[in-house]
Amino acid sequence: MKAYVATTGLAFALLVMAHLVRLGLEGSRLLTEPDFVMATIVPAGLSVWAWRLFKQFREKR
């Protein structure tokens, strides 16, 4: 379970980083597109959630 949570957290974090790179390359006009904003915020939240769960698994050892 720990490996799954870590992999999921990493995948979502990479997606958010890719969106931030795209934002840097294409400019702030992307912030006016609701789909882009939601496709960045949701994975960011899921990544934070996954890493918090991973931290809990590590503390239980």
* pLDDT for 15 beyond 80: yes
Give, for 61, the enclosing helix (H) or strand (E).
none
| Nearest to 20, CA basis, from 48, 39, 1, 47 | 39
25: pLDDT strictly greater than 80: yes
pLDDT tens, 33-59? 999 999 999 999 999 999 999 999 877
Whether the pLDDT of residue 61 is over 70: the answer is: no
Handedness of CA 45, 48, 50, 56 (dihedral sign): negative
For all residues of the chain together, what is the average pLDDT? 94
Would you kindly state where each structural domain of the chain is located, as residue ranges? 2-59
d(CA 61, CA 6): 16
